Amino acid sequence: MQVYLPIAEMPVDPFIIILMGAGVGFLSGMFGVGGGFLMTPLLIFHGIPAAVAVGTEAAHIVASSVSGVTAHLRRKTVDMQMGAFLVAGGAAGGAVGVFLFRYLRSLGQIETFVSLSYVIFLGLIGSLMLAESLRAIVREPKKGAPRRRRRRTAWMAALPFAMRFRRSQLFISPIPPAALGFVVGVLSAIMGVGGGFILVPAMIYILQMPTAVVVGTSLFQVTFVTAVVTVLQAAANKTVDIFLALLLLAGGVVGAQLGARAAVFLKAEHLRALLALIVLAICIRLIFGLVLPPDQSYVVEAL
């Protein structure tokens, strides 16, 4: 059984797409990540054009993030004030990223650019995650050892317009959150990711937000910024395939529930190590796709 995707302009087996959504949803539920940085490369491997994979995955992330941010709003673990600055920066970054995406697509270089972006980010993040998780496995923390309190860096304290973020218990300038949101917005538009895999550690280690409000605030930013990116991609580049997004969502909802249940059987450091290995495996596959010659140098078709 084949279903024709009108934007991707190709037929696909819907069961394979649903299984892909379920697989990435399973990993998302297990590891607590959005999964966009896994799904977009998998769609490209399956033959979906990179431009459509990026635009459609942004729409998929919007739908999958709404339920998560709603739950965090009920628990009051979202810093709305911090989220507003992250969203403002992210919306501006998303607009810049969409038009950069359009320019690269007009040059015919978008496939190479997306693949290189994933190789760089997945290779860097996967290596850091693997090294950190291996250190945690080998060197277990001593019981009863006092935790070191993080000190605010000098450059953060020197920034102007400092204001109080009550939910996060911070007194900092809104410039770093807006700048961080801008970077994540650009990545969301170019790579088709929510950006949580960059946003969450940056909020913990750079903005020094309490862990209790980091995930909810990150999902708040991801939901609104990817919604803006989806609208801009659909209007400016015509790369959002709703049929493909619905198929991915159908599998992702079920997979995420199963993954969340499976996560309880593994330790946190083991989960991080396993995720790092998966990220590095996808990175290596992308590298092979860039360096190996294609099966056909070119294709001639009758129009």
pLDDT digits (tens, 9 = 90+) for 92-134: 998 898 888 888 888 877 777 777 887 887 788 778 777 877 7
Q: Model pTM?
A: 0.72
Q: State the average pLDDT for the chain.
A: 76
List phi, psi (to 5°) of 11.
Answer: -85, 145
Number of neighbouring beta carbons within 10 Å of residue 151: 9
Q: What is the DSSP letter of 296?
A: -
Which H/E stretch holds residue 83? helix 80-107
**Overall average pLDDT of the 29-50 stretch:** 75
pLDDT per residue over 157-213, tens digit each?
Answer: 667 787 888 877 788 888 888 998 898 888 888 877 777 767 777 777 777 788 778
- 116-145 CB burial, b ≥16 within 10 A, e <16: ebbbebbbebbeebbeebeebeeeeeeeee
| Interacting residues of 2 by C-beta distance below 8 A, sequence separation 6+ | 11, 12, 13
Q: What is the dihedral of CA 73, 74, 76, 78, to 10 degrees?
A: -10
Residue in the block written with tokens 């965090």 = 72
If one counts every other C-beta atom within 10 angstroms of the C-beta of residue 198, the result is: 18
Helix/strand/coil (H, E, C) string of 201-266? HHHHHCCCCCHHHHHHHHHHHHHHHHHHHHHHHHHHHCCCCHHHHHHHHHHHHHHHHHHHHHHHHC
**Per-residue pLDDT, 140:** 59
Confidence of residue 20 (pLDDT cuts 50, 70, 90): confident
Amino acid at 76: K
Residue with tokens 């850091």: 128
